[in-house]
Amino acid sequence: MLSYRTEIRNSPKEQTLKIYLSDISLDEELQGLLENINGVRMVEVQKSVSRNRVAENLTVFRKENITINDLKTKIDGFLSSFFERVDI
């Protein structure tokens, strides 16, 4: 099972990035780390309402100076590196 999955979401107000972690006990730790990434405006821990999903997800809001695709690439790289160290 993958440690995480990211998805770009479109809402009426703005695009966000959803992060679904297989281990939701890491939500708060990663929230703090992700908020320090250049281009991230805010990260919220939210309850997932869809079926077949983990109970919580992280929602990443971007700053205006970065595209959602660039932010996704940056966050995917960070998470890949994070879980590479954690899974050793």
In terms of CATH architecture, what is 4-86?
Answer: 2-Layer Sandwich (3.30)
Average pLDDT over residues 41-70: 87
Task: Please give the model's pTM, rounded to 2 decimal places.
Answer: 0.87
**What is the C-alpha to C-alpha distance for residues 45 and 49, in angstroms, rounded to an integer?**
13
Beta-carbon contacts of residue 2 (< 8 Å; ≥ 6 apart): 22
The Cβ of residue 43 has, within 10 Å, a number of other Cβ atoms equal to 23
Average pLDDT over residues 74-78: 97
End-to-end CA distance of the chain: 15
What SS3 state is found at 75?
helix
The predicted structure's pLDDT at residue 55:
80
Average pLDDT over residues 25-42: 95
Distances (CA, A) of 24 to 11, 53, 63: 24, 11, 25
The predicted structure's pLDDT at residue 2:
82
